[in-house]
Structure 1
Amino acid sequence: MAGPLRGRIALVAGATRGAGRGIAVELGAAGATVYVTGRSTRARRSEYDRPETVEDTADLVTAAGGHGIAVPADHLDPAQVRAVVDRIGADHGRLDVLVNDIWGAEHLFARDTPLWEHDLDAGLRLLRLAVETHAVTSHHALPLLLRHPGGLVVEMTDGTAAYNRDTYRVGFFYDLAKASVLRMAFALGHELGPRGATAVALTPGWMRSEIMLEHFGVREDNWRDALEQVPHFAISESPRYVGRAVAALAADAEVTRFNGQSLSSGGLACEYGFTDLDGTRPDAWRYLAEVHDAGRPADTTGYR
C-alpha cells in the first residue's frame, strides 16, 4: 500500500453506501487500512432493503490500494460498537481517523411536514439514527484515537453551519439532526483539541449517492441525463469527491487549524486542489445560496 496514509488506521462508521463508501474508498486509495461498518451485509439486509453491503465497500477499499475490513455493526447498540473498537485496538493498537457517517433515515422524514403532523415514532428514530449513533461511536472510539497524537474525527452532516443557520432544512427532525451533528463537531473540537486531536464537521454538496441516482433513473456514467428533470442537478458531485476531502484532511500535518470548524467538499477542494472524478471542483453550497435559492436559472459557470 503506497500513499500518504500508508500505515494509518481508519474507521468509517456507516460505510455501506453513499458518502461513507466514497470516503472509505478514497482513504484506501491513499493507502490506509479502513474498517467499514454498517448493517447491510451479504447475508442480511437492513430495513433499507438495498443491495449495497459493507463487504462490497471493503472490497472496493482494497481494490483502490488500501486494506478494507468489513465489520457488520448496528451503531445504536453500544456493545456492538465497543466490539468493533476492541477489534481495531487488538489488531493495531491505534486509530488515526474516525469518520461518523451513520445516517440511515431517508425513509423516516416527511418534507415540509410540521412537527405536530409528523409521525412521532419515525422522527424520534431519525434522531436516534442520526445523532445517538454518533455519540455512541465517539464514546467508545475516542479513547483509542487519543492513544497517539494527531487523530482526526470527521462528523458527516448535510449543510455547512453558515447555510443551515439561515435555512430551514426539510423539516423539524431533519433540521435538528443535521444541526446537532454540526454542534457535535464543535463540542468535540473543544474536548479533543487540548488532547492532541482534531474534530471537524464535513458536508458533501448535492451528492450522487446510489439512492439519488436511482431516484432520477440514471447512473454515474450518464447522470447528466437527469438535468432534463432538474437542471440544478448540474452542480451535483460523486461520493468520491467528499472522500477525497477526508483523505486530504487526514494527510494534512496542519489539520489542527480546522479544529471545531464546519467544512465542505467544495471548500476543501479549493484548499487542497483535488477534483471530482470528472476533473471539476463543484462548490455546491455557494451555488445553492447564490443561484438555486436566489431563484436564478441553473448555470454552474464559476461554481464547478
Structure 2
Amino acid sequence: MNDRSGTVVVVTGAARGIGRGIALVLGETGATVYVTDIESRSRKTSPLPGTVEDTAEQVTARGGKGIAIPLDHTDDSAVEALFTSIRDEHGGIDLLVANACNGNALPFQNGPFWTLPLENWRNMIDIGVRSHLVSAWYAAPLLMERKGLVILTGYTDPKADVMGNLFYDLAMSSVSRLARSLARDFRSQGVAAVALSPGFTRTEAIVAAIGERPPGSDSIEFPGRAVQALLTDPDVQRYSGQTLRVADVAVEYGFRDIDPPGESL
C-alpha cells in the first residue's frame, strides 16, 4: 500500500459491512479515517455485531487514525457539524465514501411493489440516496480544497431488476445517476465522483443469513481495495461520472481479494 498518512477520509455507514471493509483498507495506508454510523456502543439498533467505535479502533490497529463519529445521517445538522469540524481540523478532505444506507432495517422481501412496505422508501432512499447527496453537499468545499474524490456505493447495471424490489432498484439506480450529476458539477473544480458497485459480499448480514463463506462471495475488504486503487490513481478523472464494478477495478489495477488479511482467495 502507498503511504497516505496525510490523507483525510470520511466513510459513512462504516460500523459494519462494506463501509467497515473500506475503512480498514484505508487504515492500512496510515490515513486519518472518520467513520460514521448510527450504530454505536451507546445506541445499538441491530443484533448484528459492529459499532462505529469498533471500526475506528480497527482502523487505528491497522496503522491509520480511526475517528468514530456516531451519526444519524437523516439529521442534516449533525452532518453539517461533522464537516465543519473536519474543516476546522484539516482544512479539507481527500476522499468521501458515501455508503450509509439501511436496507436491512426491515426483513428484505421481493415481489410486486404494492406488496412491499412503504417504510422501504425511508431506509433505502432517505437513509441511502439522500444521505449520499447530503454528505456530498456539505463535503463539497472540503473536497474542492484538495481536489478530492467522491465514491458512492451502489449498483452497476441499470437494466437489472435489482433483487426484485422496486425500492432497492430505485435506490441503486439513483446512486449511479447521482454520481453522474456530481461528476458534471465537480469537473471544473478538479473533483472526481464515481459510483462503485460491489459484488456479492460477505457482510455481517449475509453471513448471519446464509453462513460464513457463501460460494462466489467477496470479502468486505475487496471494495476497499478498489477504493484505494482509485484514490491513488492520478488520472481518476477518466472514470468520473461512471459506475464501476469492483471486479472490473480489480482487473484494471491488478489486485485480488484477500480474506482474512494475508490469505489469498
Measured against the shorter chain, the TM-score band is over 0.9
**CA shift at 1:124, angstroms?**
3.9
After superposition, the Cα gap between the structure-2 partners of 1:117 and 1:99, relative to the gap in structure 1 and judged at 3 Å, is: same
Give the secondary structure class of the aligned counterpart of 1:191: helix
**CA shift at 1:135, angstroms?**
1.4
Give the secondary structure class of the aligned counterpart of 1:235: coil
Residue type matched to 1:216 in 2? Answer: I
Q: Report the TM-score when normalising by structure 2.
A: 0.93
Counterpart pick for 1:185 among 179, 182, 186: 179
Contact 1:109/1:171, CA 8 A, preserved across alignment: no
Contact 1:34/1:68, CA 8 A, preserved across alignment: yes
- Between the aligned partners of 1:270 and 1:110, the Cα distance in structure 2 is 32
- Between the aligned partners of 1:242 and 1:16, the Cα distance in structure 2 is 15
Q: Which position in structure 2 is the counterpart of 1:288?
A: none
**CA shift at 1:3, angstroms?**
3.3
Q: How many residues align structurally?
A: 261
Offset from partner CA, 1:57-108 (integer Å, 9 cap, x none):
0011111111110011111101100111111111111111000001112133
Contact 2:24/2:62, CA 8 A, preserved across alignment: yes
Contact 1:108/1:123, CA 8 A, preserved across alignment: no
Residue type matched to 1:164 in 2? Answer: P
- Between the aligned partners of 1:243 and 1:214, the Cα distance in structure 2 is 21
- Between the aligned partners of 1:60 and 1:121, the Cα distance in structure 2 is 33
Contact 1:100/1:137, CA 8 A, preserved across alignment: yes
Q: Which position in structure 1 is the counterpart of 2:99?
A: 101
Q: Report the TM-score when normalising by structure 1.
A: 0.82
Q: Which position in structure 2 is the counterpart of 1:293?
A: none
After superposition, the Cα gap between the structure-2 partners of 1:122 and 1:83, relative to the gap in structure 1 and judged at 3 Å, is: same
Q: Which position in structure 2 is the counterpart of 1:156?
A: 153
**CA shift at 1:217, angstroms?**
3.4
Counterpart pick for 2:193 among 190, 199, 210: 199
**Superposition map of 1:136-147 within 5 A:** 136-147=134-145
Q: Does 1:273 align with 2:258?
A: no
Offset from partner CA, 1:39-74 (integer Å, 9 cap, x none):
11112213x243310011001111111111001111
CA RMSD of aligned residues (A): 1.6
**CA shift at 1:115, angstroms?**
1.7
- Between the aligned partners of 2:107 and 2:175, the Cα distance in structure 1 is 17
Kindly, what percent of the aligned residue pairs are identical? Answer: 40
- Between the aligned partners of 1:254 and 1:4, the Cα distance in structure 2 is 18
The structure having more radius of gyration, on CA atoms, is 1
Gaps of 5+ in 1: 224-232, 281-304
Counterpart pick for 2:240 among 250, 255, 259: 259
Gaps of 5+ in 2: none
